[in-house]
Structure 1
Amino acid sequence: MTILKSQKINLLRKGIASAILLASFAASGTAQASERGKVLVILSSEQTVALRDGKTYHAGYYLDELEIPLRKIIEAGYTPVFANPKGNPVTFDKASNDKIFYDGSDKKRAEAVSYLEGVDALKHPQTFKNILKGGTKTFVGVFIPGGWSPMQDLTTDKDLGKILTGFHQQGKPTGVICHGPAALISTLPDAAAFTQALAAGKPELAGSLAKNWPYAGYRLTVFSRSEESAVEGAQAQLGGNVSYYAADGLAQAGAHVDRLGLWAVNVVEDREVVSGQQPFSSDAFGNAFVAKLKNSL
């Protein structure tokens, strides 16, 4: 009896250890045995964003826009692979480290920060060039969280344009939220000229440059102009005004931009693309994107 009891205890210990190990693998994005596939997570390399009149805003990804969908992706059995233009580690926008995005729960907010700190792969993103070497066929989907940082580099990154074009051509799930949808502009033939025209207040010129955009005619949602206006200004969160509105950029490129009221939960699905309007849409967006991943198998 003593031997059997000892064996049961050892088996229980091994089981607990295995569970902890699997959880650790999942959190670090390195699980291999039971993964459903790899999801490419695109981040900006920038922590500051240029505003009008020479002002800047200290940005980063939005905490809940990355953490909530990422947690759902990992728990569903997918392995995240992080990448950005420079391959440099980045962190969240300090303004997003707020319980308001976690149902007013400071405990949930703190747990979100701790969770991302435990995702080791997030600290070592690959470069876009490295992703291109391996190609996009090894991934089952791509996810781009928001924050203002994507407006600084992702919208005009040619390598990202190639990566996203690959996912589009293969019809693989593409999840974008808040300012993340603006990264789709990178697939334009001359994204730099397009965004420069928008910043210069020349929408007609921008429209003339929006030829052969892969996502023309798609229904998308994005951080709305009214929401942008609510956080602009010297006394507001941004401390200045953005160079151009992400919603206007997508509309000029050829998308049908769907926006609900200020801070309303909004998720739009069209073909392979799932888009969310802003941080308060993160939970619904994460569920919709994971469902899209599962249904695409």
Structure 2
Amino acid sequence: MNEVRTLRSIVEEGLDNYAGVFVPGGQAPVVDLMQDPDMGEVLRHFHERSKPTAFLCHGPIAVAAAMPHAREFRAALIAGVPAKAAEWAKDWQYAGYRMTVFSNSEEKVVEDYILHAKLYFNVVDALQTAGGKVITTATDFEPHVVEDRELITGQNPRSDRALAGKFVAALERSLAMA
């Protein structure tokens, strides 16, 4: 942790040196990463090369950063104008991908009993507005992982082991083809 690097420094170093990307959950993907231009550059690079990308819990919302207008997309979501958000998401690289993310009902539990605060928007709704095919479990906090092409998503923290297994397998396949 003493040699923390910025995404910009990694982009400048060259992304071809990396086999995959992993984004954990928490609030950072919802607040910062989903609108970070460097994250967008990383995701576009990996998407274009079909390199494995894995996201856990709230992490999948970070794929919004790949949009050319990610900041505007997020602002429209916060303003409560999903039609405008959908316009900003036009031609999104991950439209049509199957994915999962922390469900709306899981979010409500965390908002009501842990954070005692609400997010500006639901991540499920945001990804669906952008064109993602979001699949969540009927049972809250049950492990659930969805893999579609290079994108591997885990719904909640309990999905960590299954996600790690699929991510490692995808990295091994990708490296074997290199």
**Conservation of the 8 A alpha-carbon contact between 1:189 and 1:211:** no
CA distance in 2, matches of 1:220, 1:137: 25
Q: Secondary structure at the match of 1:247?
A: helix
Q: CA deviation at 1:196?
A: 1.1
Q: 1:255 aligns with which of 114, 118, 132?
A: 132
Asked whether 1:182 is paired with 2:97, we answer: no
Moved over 3 A (4+): none
Q: Secondary structure at the match of 1:232?
A: helix
Name the residue aligned to 1:238. 115
Q: Secondary structure at the match of 1:265?
A: coil
Name the residue aligned to 1:10. none
Asked whether 1:156 is paired with 2:35, we answer: yes
Q: Secondary structure at the match of 2:16?
A: coil
Q: Secondary structure at the match of 2:114?
A: coil
Larger radius of gyration: 1
CA distance in 1, matches of 2:59, 2:102: 9
Asked whether 1:139 is paired with 2:139, we answer: no
Name the residue aligned to 1:200. 79
* Percent of matched pairs sharing the same residue: 43
CA distance in 1, matches of 2:118, 2:44: 31
Q: How many residues align?
A: 174
TM-score by length of 1: 0.57
TM-score by length of 2: 0.94
Q: Secondary structure at the match of 2:96?
A: coil
Asked whether 1:285 is paired with 2:169, we answer: no
Q: CA deviation at 1:123?
A: 3.6
Q: CA deviation at 1:149?
A: 2.0
CA distance in 1, matches of 2:122, 2:155: 13
Q: Secondary structure at the match of 2:15?
A: coil
CA distance in 2, matches of 1:129, 1:282: 27
Q: 1:271 aligns with which of 149, 160, 165?
A: 149
CA distance in 2, matches of 1:285, 1:131: 24
Q: AA paired with 2:114?
A: Q
CA distance in 1, matches of 2:35, 2:24: 16
Unaligned runs of 5+ in 2: none
Q: Secondary structure at the match of 2:65?
A: helix
Q: CA deviation at 1:181?
A: 0.5
Q: CA deviation at 1:131?
A: 1.0
Q: Secondary structure at the match of 1:296?
A: helix
